[in-house]
Amino acid sequence: MQPVALLLLITSLIAALLSGCSASPTNFTESAPGAVRTVIDAEGTEVQVPEVPERIVTLSEPTLDGVLALGVTPVGTVTGRGQSAVPNYLADVAADIPILGSVAQPNFEAIGQAAPDLILVDGTSINNNPPVIEALREIAPVVYTGFAGGDWRLNFELVAEALGMESEGQAVIQAYDDRVAELREDLGEYEGSTFSIVRWQGGSAALILNELPPGVALLDLGLARPENQDRIGRGHSEPVSLENLQEIDADYIFFGTLGGSSVDNPNAGGSADISGAEDALENAVSTPGFTSLNAYQNDNIILVDGSSWTSTGGPILMNSLIEDVAEALL
């Protein structure tokens, strides 16, 4: 399902869920000018934020994704991990948002010129870097929404709280849970099969494990990982040496790439989309041992968009992942 369609689906489900609640949605027009409230961020810091933020800057994929899922367009964001523009999976809905640096190197001057009244960051962008956080706080209130490898739901809930949209946020999560329950039942025929998620980049493989969004999506859907992959990793893809290439094997492999780019060199070239995965598979096939994998032998290599399947994000990403699984397996 395309991002625009996902956003429309999420929006319609939110409206339906909120209409059944006894509490009314927040009436932003009643807020007094200059009114503030306190948000306690993921690090335990008390942050005074505007009652109704109007100029939001997002400095990571999860915060950009979360804001868009709530129907809010930020005044600026950063490039996706290993990409030179917004994350490819959000390109249809975020391509016109001004870029204010890369996910690893925000442009402080550009952020200041955007005149934000709220900045959202997390550990996938600015991880354990207090000087950077303090520099951003000289520009606007900063809410640190979550940690690398942390629960996407908690990250998103803090995004929603920072925007004063807690009810809408819960409706987004409920819509995801409802869709998961539906698909989980449909995917029952795959009980007993195993599923691997592989990022292929620069001629080598890395595994996406259970803590990252694609791993969470598979677990939510009741799809099993191989025993060696059924664990929590370090919050990012875990490299596998070519000598141990069999560690990536499973009955099915979801296979993607972020091209030749990296966080440190986002303009190195390559593509994150399906065409990039096709090129990466050509490279993998020429690697000794790859064609001996069970998934390859059984034609069960499933090509995926690396910007969603080998990186991180929020509820739009999670909905995209479960729909990709449904399209591939049902």
What's the confidence (pLDDT) of residue 270? 54
CA pair distance 58, 77, nearest whole angstrom = 5
The upper half-sphere exposure of residue 277, i.e. CA atoms within 13 Å in the direction of its Cβ, equals 19
What's the confidence (pLDDT) of residue 272? 75
Are residues 286 and 257 located together in one domain of the fold? yes
Residues of the chain with pLDDT under 50: 9, 11, 13-31, 261-269
Structure tokens at 167: 């009810």
Q: Are strands 204-207 and 56-58 parallel, antiparallel or unpaired?
A: unpaired
With respect to residue 1, please indicate whether it lies within any of the assigned structural domains: no
What's the confidence (pLDDT) of residue 233? 85
Q: What is the pLDDT of residues 119-143, one digit of tens each?
A: 999 999 887 788 999 999 999 999 9
Domain that holds residue 74: 36-171
What's the confidence (pLDDT) of residue 265? 45
Are residues 92 and 211 located together in one domain of the fold? no
What's the confidence (pLDDT) of residue 13? 45
Give how many domains the chain has, as a whole number: 2
Tell which of 143, 171, 199 closes a domain.
Answer: 171
Residue 30: phi and psi, rounded to 5, are -90, -5
**Residues 163, 53: contact at Cβ < 8 Å?**
yes
With respect to residue 181, please indicate whether it lies within any of the assigned structural domains: no
What's the confidence (pLDDT) of residue 7? 56
How much is the pTM?
A: 0.85
**Residues 118, 141: contact at Cβ < 8 Å?**
yes
Tell which of 171, 201, 236 closes a domain.
Answer: 171
What's the confidence (pLDDT) of residue 6? 52
Are residues 221 and 108 located together in one domain of the fold? no
Helices (H), the chain: 3-19, 61-69, 91-94, 108-113, 130-137, 152-162, 166-186, 213-220, 274-285, 294-297, 306-309, 315-329
The upper half-sphere exposure of residue 190, i.e. CA atoms within 13 Å in the direction of its Cβ, equals 23
In 175-273, DSSP assigns E strands to: 195-201, 204-207, 238-240, 252-256
In sequence order, the 6+-apart residues with CB closer than 8 A to the CB of 137 are none
